[in-house]
Chains A and B, each alone.
Chain A
Amino acid sequence: MRDLLAALTELRERLHEIPQADERRLQDLKTEILGRKAGALTKILAALPGLEPAAKKQVGGAANALKRDFEAAIAARERDLKRAPAAAAAGVDLTMPGRASWTGGLHLVTQVVNEICEIFHELGFTRAVGPHIETERYNFYALNFPKDHPALDAQDSFYLGGDLLLRTHTSPVQIRTLERYPPPVRVVIPGLAYRRDPFDASHSPVFEQIEGLAVDEGISFVDFKATLATFARRFFTADTRVRFRPSFFPFTEPSAEMDVQCQICGGTGCAACKQSGWMEILGSGMVHPAVLENCGVDSERYSGFAWGMGPDRIAMARHRIPDIRLLFDSDVRFLAQFAAGAKGGAR
C-alpha cells in the first residue's frame, strides 16, 4: 500500500510535464499514464480490488483524484495545442496550407441570369416561365410572325412532329402570361431556347434567353428606353454608354437593338466588337399591337415593350470567354473559376 501511495506521489510530479508537452509528447504521456492496458495509473487502479477496505479507500481516493487531474490537464493542453500551435511550439510554419473542405458553386450563366433578373426585380419585374415544347401558334403566329416567315423554315427550328417544336425563344411565355394575367404585366422570362445551329465557337443549338415584357396603359418608347438603359448601367457600370438603333422583329414595332459600349476595349474598337466600339446586348421594341390583339388585350388602351437577350453571350462578353462551348463542357477547372461569384473578385 505504501508502495502504491509512493507511486501515486511520483506520478503526480509528472503532471507538470503536461503543460509543456507538444502534441506527440502528450500522446505518449497519455498512453504511459492512462493507457487502457499498461498505463501506470491504470495499473494502480487495477490493483485496488486486492487491497483491504481501509487501504482501498485511501489509495482509491488518491488514485481517482490523480486520474481526474491528469484528464483535466491533458484536456486543457489539447485545447491549447489546437487553439494556438505557434504559441506553444516554436518552429510551426504558419505558411503551410489550411485545412479545406470541398466547395461548389453556381454556373457562370446561372449567376448572370440571377444578376439580370435581380436588376429587373428592382425595376418591378417578376419571373415567369413556360414550356420548352411549344406549338407554332405560341412560338410564331401569336407573336405576329407571318405564316411564311423565313424563321419558320424547318432548317432553323427543331420540330417534334405536327405543329410542335422546341421553342426558338422564350417569347411564347409573353403570350401565355398575357392570356393569364391582366395588365399591368411586368415579367422577365428566363429559360432555354433552341435553334438548329451546330456547335461552334459562337453558336450552340441550345442557349439561355431572358425575355422581358411590360404592358400597361400609357407605356411609351421613353419608358422602354429608360428601363433597358437603366438595366445596362446597373449590370455593367454606371457610366457605360448605351445606344438604341432600329431593327426588325415581327412582335415589336418600333423595334430596336440595344448596344452597350464594348466592355473589352471601352469603345475604342477591338476584334471582339469588330472595331465598332459597341456590343449588341439585346433586341427589343414596343410590343406590336397585333401581339396584344392576339392575346385579347385592347391595343388602343394598352401599350408595352418587350426585349430578349442572351445571358450566354453577355457572360462571354463580360468575362472574355472566347468559346461558347466552354459554358457547356462543365470542366470543373472552368466552373471553379467563377464558383466564388462571377463578380466581386479583385481585378
Chain B
Amino acid sequence: MIVSRRWLEALLGRALDARETADRLTMHVAPVDAVVPLHQDLGDIVVARVLEVKQHPNADRLTLCRVDAGVAGGPVEVVCGARNVQAGKSYPYAPVGAVLPGGARLERKAIRGVESNGMLCSAKELGLGDDHAGILELDTAAPPGSRFVDVVPVADHQIVIDVPANRPDLLGHKGVARELAALLGGAVKLPPIPGAGSAAPAGGDAALGGRRRAPSARGDGPARAAEPGVAAGPSGRVPSGVVDGVEVRLEDPEGAPRYMIAVIRGVKVASSPGWLARRLASIGQRPINNVVDATNYVLFEVNQPLHAFDLAKLRGPAVVVRRAQPNEKIVTLDGVERTLSPEMTAICDAARPTIIAGVMGSAESEVAASTTDLVLECAYFQPTRVRRTRRALGLSSESSYRFERGIDLLGMPESMRRAIELIIAVAGGEQREPWLDLWPQPVQEKTIFLRPERAAHLLGVATERAELERLLTSVGFFVAPKDGGSRLAVQVPGWRPDVTREVDLIEEAARLTGYDAFPDELRPYRPGTVPDAPVEQIKARVRERLAQAGFFEARTIPLGPGDGPEAVAVRNPLSADEALLRRRLIPGLVRRVEHNWANRNRDVRLFEIGVVFRTGQDRPEEWDSVAGVLTGARRPPHWSEGAKVPDMDIWDLKHHFELAVRVAAPSCDVQPARGGGGGWVAVQRGGEVAGWAGPLEADAPVWAAPLFGFEVRLEVMPPHPVPYRPLPTQPPVERDVALLVPAGVSAEAVSAVLARAAGPLLDRLAVFDEYHGPGVPAGHRSVAWHCTFRDPVRTLREREVDELLAGALQALEDELGVRRREG
C-alpha cells in the first residue's frame, strides 16, 4: 500500500516528517518498505510572470518572453518554443544554473542568435506529466520569485507500507492516519472537498478517536447526499427497492450482506481538477476521468471500493445482485470475455451481468464521456466469495484485494456520502433521492472482554487499567470497565475485523506501547519434556565421519525430473524438471558433479544426508538417506612424488561405502551385488537391500576421472556403548601365505575357511597382494594373506603355529581346491 505524506497530513491537520512517520509505522503498526521522495528535485524552480511576448527575430516558431522572476536585476529575456505563453500569466521558470529533474544544470546559451536567460518549463520538463506541448500555466497569485514547490503542492513522499493480511483498515489513508494520530497525537478528520461549497458538512468523521455511533443512529445527511433508512425486509422476501427510477434487488444477500445504490443524474464527465489528479498521481494512480477518479479517491481515502456505472446502459433500468448463471458471459473493463459460474456473485441489469461483484465491471457499462446519469454502488461483498471468484477468473483488482480482506461494514454510509459529495463537487449532477441501503441482517460492533490481569500475565509486566483504556481508545475501540474494573468491555470498530478475542486486544496494547519498551532480560525457565531427536544426533555423526573422510557436504533439492517408478508426483510443479520427489539422492549428486565438471573441478567428493520419498499404501513414505559420489585423484598430488596421483577406483568406493554403512546403517553387511553390474549392496539381517554402491553414468568431459557413488538408508537406532576389548600382552607370530585360488572361489570364502580351520589362535587375517602371471596356473590367481597368530595368555611356539597353518591349508585344499603357491 502506497500512502502519500501530504494526504496523511490533510487527514491529520498537521505536518509530518516522512522518515519519522515511516519509523513509527514500522515500530508500532506495519513495516514500511520504502520512503520515496516525489518531486523534491524542483527546489530551483520559481514562479515567474510573463510581462511581454514577442516574435523571435530569427525563428518563426520561437518567441521572446520578457519575464519577471522576482530577481533584483529586474525582468529577463527568455527564448521560448511553446505557443501557449501569454503576457500577464504565471509559469514555472528555471533560472540559469538551476538543476532540473534528472540532475542536468541549466546553462546560459544563445538560441538562434538570441541569448536566453533560463527557461519556462512544461509539465514534462518538471517530471509532472507527459504534456510537453505547452508551458505549464500556473493558477496562482503568488508573487514572482516564489518557490514553485511552495506554490504547487507536488513535493511529497510516498510511504510504501507492507500491510499484513489482517489489517484491511491500513489499505486506506484514513486508517493509516488513525494510527499516526494515536502515536503522535491529534485527531483524524476527512478534509473538506475543494469546490464542494460551504454547505458541505464535515460528516461524522470528527470523533474518530472516540466511540462510533451505532449503525442505526444516523445524523443528518450532508446537503447533497441524501441518506436512506435501512431496508431490512422480513426474511424470505428478496430485499429490494427503487431509487430514482432504478429497481434494485438483492437476491444474493450471502454474497453481498450489505448493498447500497445511489443515482446521480446530470454529471459532466471530464478531466479531474488538478488537486484530485495530483492526489491520485502522488500514490502512483493514473487519473482517468472525474467520476472514476472520485470513486478511486474514496477507495484510497477510506478503503471502500465503489463502482460507478452508466445508467443509460442499464436494461430495466434495474440492478439485480444474484449468483451468476452457469456459463454466463461478461466482457470486463480490460476487454477480455469472462465466463462466470454460480459460485460467483454478479451485479446484473434486467438482462445480463454488468459487474463481477467486487472484482471488475463490464466494458459496456463503464463511465464514458457520453455518460450523464450514474448508478453508484457501495457494497460489502463476502470475502471468501470474492477470493474464490478472483482465483477462478485469475483476475484481481484494487477492489477485490480489499473485499477479500474485509471492509468496514459499519462505515459504508460514511463512504457513500463522501463519494456522492465528491462526484457532485468534481462532475456536477444531483442526487434526487436518498440512496438505497439493502441490509437484510444488520449487525453491530462486537464486544470483547479484556482482563487487565490477563494482559499483565501474558505481557510479563504490570499493566495499568487506565493505560489499557487509553491505548485501545486511541485507535477507535470503545472501552467500558465492568465488574468493578476487573474486566473491560471493549467494542470493536467495524474496520477491525481481525480483532476477535481477548489476546487480540492484548496485542493492540503491546504494539501501541511499543515492543521495544518491554524488558528483555532472561528469567528462569523449566527444562522441557522433549528429548533431543535421535535422528539429528545420528545425522550429525554421519556428517562428521564423511567430512573427515574427505567429502564435502552438498545440498540438493528434493524435487527433480523423476528417477524411476514409485516416484511421488507434485500436482502443481514449477516445471517438468522439478515435478517429482526424489527416490534417491544419487541422481541429484550426479547433477552436482556435472556442475563441478562444467566448472573444471576434476576432484569431486560430495555427500548428502536428505529425505527421499516413495509412493506408499495410503500415503507416500519418506525416510532419510545418505549418499556420496567420488571422482578424481585419490589424494592431493605432492611435488615429491612427481608423477600423477592415481585416480580413485572401485576400491576407494568400496572403502567409503563400508565406512558409510558402518556409521549410517550399522545393522547392514556389505556384499558384492548379484547380477553382472558390479558394485556392492548393503544388506540388512532380514535380507532386505538398504544400500548400493557402484560406478555411475554421467555426462562427463574427456578429462574427467571415473565416477562412483553409494547410497544407503539411514538407520535410526539407539546407539549402544562400544565394549572394551583387552589389549594383547603376548607377542604375535606372523606368517605370510600365497595361495592359488581357482576361478569362482572368493577371497571371503578362503578367509572363512582359514579362520575356521586355524581356530581362535588366528588373531588377524589380511589380504596383502593379488598376482596374475608367470608361475600361476591358468584359471587361477595368487592371493597372499598375512596371518597373525596370538594366544592371549602365553607365548606361542613357532612349531605350534606351523602345525595350525598346515592344518588350515589342508582344509583349504580339501574344501575349496586352494593350494599354497610354491617359490
A: residues with CB less than 8 A from B are: 96-97, 99-107, 109-110, 114, 117, 121, 123-129, 131-133, 148-150, 153-155, 158-161, 164, 166, 177, 181-187, 190, 192, 194, 196, 198, 204-206, 214, 216, 218-223, 225-227, 229-230, 242-248, 253-257, 274, 286, 288-289, 303, 327-333, 335-336, 339
Residue of B with least CB distance to A334 = B552
**In the complex, what's the smallest C-beta–C-beta distance from B573 to chain A, in angstroms?**
7
Question: Is there contact, CB below 8 Å, between A216 and B526?
Answer: yes
| Contact indicator B523/A221 (Cβ below 8 Å) | no
Give the residue name and chain of the A residue nearest to B519 (CB).
A222
Given A196-B574, A332-B604: A124 and B592 interface contact (C-beta under 8 Å): no
Task: Decide if B525 touches A214 in the complex (CB within 8 Å).
Answer: yes
The answer to whether A220 and B547 have CB atoms under 8 Å apart is: no
Is the beta-carbon distance between B533 and A129 smaller than 8 angstroms?
Answer: yes
Q: Is the CB of A206 within 8 A of B559?
A: yes
> Is B640 a contact partner of A99 (Cβ separation < 8 A)?
yes
- Contact call B553/A106, Cβ cutoff below 8 A: yes
Minimum distance in angstroms from A335 CB to a CB of chain B: 4
A335 adjacent to B526 (CB under 8 Å):
no
Known A-B contacts A104-B553, A248-B166; the reply to A181 vs B34 at CB < 8 A is no
Q: Assuming A254-B506, A330-B552, A331-B596, is B458 touching A303 (CB within 8 A)?
A: yes
Check A328–B557 contact: CB distance below 8 A: yes
Contact A246 B503 (CB under 8 A): no
Tell me which of A106, A127, A219 contacts B533 (CB under 8 A). A127
- Return chain A residues, CB-CB under 8 Å to B544: 106
**Also in contact, A181 and B458, with CB within 8 A (given A100-B635, A192-B611, A254-B510):** no
Could you tell me if A133 and B525 are in contact, using CB atoms closer than 8 angstroms? no
| Contact, CB under 8 Å: A225 / B34 | no
Complex alpha-carbon distance, A121 and B540, angstroms:
15
Most buried by B among A160, A221, A242, A335: A221
Knowing A186-B525, A218-B457, A248-B165, say if A328 contacts B29 (CB, 8 Å).
Answer: no
Using known A-B contacts A114-B540, A177-B530, A192-B558, determine if residue A331 contacts B549 with beta carbons closer than 8 Å: no
Q: Given A160-B620, A161-B571, A289-B503, 17 other A-B contacts at CB below 8 A?
A: A96-B639, A104-B546, A110-B555, A123-B522, A127-B536, A128-B533, A129-B535, A133-B613, A148-B388, A159-B570, A185-B529, A205-B578, A219-B525, A230-B522, A246-B28, A254-B506, A330-B589
Could you show 28 A-B contacts with beta carbons less than 8 Å apart?
Answer: A96-B639, A99-B638, A104-B551, A106-B553, A150-B387, A150-B404, A158-B573, A164-B619, A183-B529, A184-B529, A205-B557, A214-B525, A218-B457, A222-B518, A222-B519, A222-B520, A222-B521, A225-B518, A245-B27, A248-B164, A254-B503, A274-B34, A330-B555, A331-B599, A331-B601, A332-B605, A332-B606, A339-B552
Question: 9 tightest CB-CB pairs across the interface, nearest first?
Answer: A220-B460, A222-B460, A102-B550, A248-B164, A186-B528, A254-B507, A330-B554, A244-B515, A335-B552
Instruction: Check if B531 sits within 8 Å of A126, measured CB to CB.
Output: yes
B residues near A219, Cβ cutoff 8 Å: 525
Contact with B558, one of A107, A148, A206, A248 (Cβ below 8 angstroms): A206
Q: Which residue of B lies closest to A190 (CB)?
A: B536
Interface residues of B in 426-485 (CB under 8 A from A): 457-461
With both chains docked as a complex, state the minimum distance between the C-beta of B718 and any C-beta of chain A, in angstroms: 16
A149 to B164, CA, bound (A): 12
Q: Given A107-B554, A192-B611, A205-B578, answer yes or no on A182-B31 (Cβ-Cβ < 8 Å).
A: no
Closest B residue to A121 by beta carbon equals B532
Q: Is the CB of A246 within 8 A of B613?
A: no
The total of chain B residues at the interface (CB under 8 A) is 98
| CB neighbours of B543 from chain A (8 A) | 106, 110
Which single member of B27, B507, B622 contacts A133 (CB below 8 Å)? B622
* Complex-state Cα separation, A196 to B515, whole angstroms: 33
User: Does the CB pair A148–B384 fall under 8 Å?
Assistant: yes
Q: Does any Cβ of A come within 8 Å of B572's Cβ?
A: yes
Are A101 and B635 closer than 8 Å at their CB atoms?
yes
Complex contacts, A289 vs chain B, CB 8 Å: 501, 503
Pair A255/B507 contact, Cβ less than 8 Å: yes
Contacts of B550 in A (CB 8 A): 101-104
Rounded to whole angstroms, the CA-CA distance of A177 and B529 in the bound complex is 10
Cβ of B736 under 8 Å from chain A? no
Q: Of residues 245 to 291 in B, which have CB atoms within 8 Å of A's CB atoms?
A: none
Q: How many angstroms from the CA of A204 to the CA of B578 in the assembled complex?
A: 12
Which residues on the B side are within 8 Å of A336 (C-beta)?
552
Beta-carbon contact of A126 and B532 below 8 Å: yes
Is residue B527 within 8 Å, beta carbon to beta carbon, of the partner chain?
yes
Bound form: Cα–Cα A218–B555 in Å: 40
Given the complex, which residues of B lie within 8 Å of A177, measured CB to CB?
A: 530
**A223 contacts which chain B residues (CB < 8 A)?**
460, 522-523, 525
CA distance A110 to B522 in the complex (A): 28
B636 at the interface (CB under 8 A from A): yes
Q: Which residues of B contact A148 (CB under 8 A)?
A: 383-384, 387-388
Map CB proximity to A onto B608-642 as digits: 1 under 8 Å, 0 otherwise.
00110100000110100000000000011011100
**Does A132 contact B622, Cβ atoms closer than 8 Å?**
yes
> With a CB–CB cut-off of 8 A, which chain A residues contact B596?
330-332
Q: Which of chain A's residues have a CB closer than 8 A to the CB of B515?
A: 225, 243-246, 254, 256
Q: B527 near A105 (CB under 8 angstroms)?
A: no
Residues on B with C-beta less than 8 A from A230 are 520, 522
Which of A148, A246, A248 gathers most chain B CB within 10 Å? Answer: A246
Task: State whether B605 touches A220 (Cβ < 8 A).
Answer: no
Is B528 within 8 A of A226, CB to CB?
Answer: no
Q: Are B570 and A333 in contact (CB under 8 A)?
A: no
Closest-by-CB residue of A relative to B22 is A276
Question: B328: CB under 8 A from chain A?
Answer: no
Bound together, the chains give a CA A332 to CA B570 distance in angstroms of 30
- Determine the chain B residues whose CB is within 8 A of the CB of A103 once the complex forms: 550
Smallest distance from the beta carbon of B823 to chain A beta carbons, Å? Answer: 14
Q: Select from chain A the residue with minimum beta-carbon distance to B507.
A: A254
With A101-B550, A222-B461, A223-B460 already in contact, the answer to whether A198 and B574 are too (CB < 8 A) is yes
CB contact under 8 A between A184 and B636, given known A196-B574, A254-B506: no
* CB 8 Å contact bits of B28-72 with A (1 = contact, 0 = none): 111101100000000000000000000000000000000000000
Taken together as a complex, chains A and B put the C-alpha atoms of A184 and B620 apart, in Å, by: 33
- Cβ-based interface call for B325 (8 A): no
A132-B622, A160-B568 known; A221+B518 contact, CB < 8 A: yes
Interface check B26, CB cutoff 8 A: yes
Q: Is the CB of B605 within 8 A of A104?
A: yes
A-chain residues with CB within 8 Å of residue B388 when the two chains form the complex: 148
Q: Which of chain A's residues have a CB closer than 8 A to the CB of B26?
A: 245
Complex CA–CA separation, A97 to B572 (angstroms): 54
Which of B391, B504, B547, B611 touches A104 (beta carbons < 8 Å)? B547
Docked-complex contact A206 and B619, CB < 8 angstroms: no
Q: Is B780 an interface residue (CB 8 A)?
A: no
B516 at interface by CB-CB < 8 Å: yes
Contact digits for B558-590, partner A, Cβ 8 Å, 1 yes 0 no: 110000000011111111001001000000010
**Chain B: minimal CB distance from A295 (Å):** 14
Find out whether the CB atom of B529 lies under 8 angstroms from the CB atom of A182: yes
Q: Pick the contact of A159 from B553, B572, B578 — CB < 8 Å?
A: B572
> With the chains together, A101 CA to B548 CA distance in Å?
10
B556 within 8 A of A: yes
Q: In whole Å, how far is B743's beta carbon from the nearest beta carbon of chain A?
A: 32
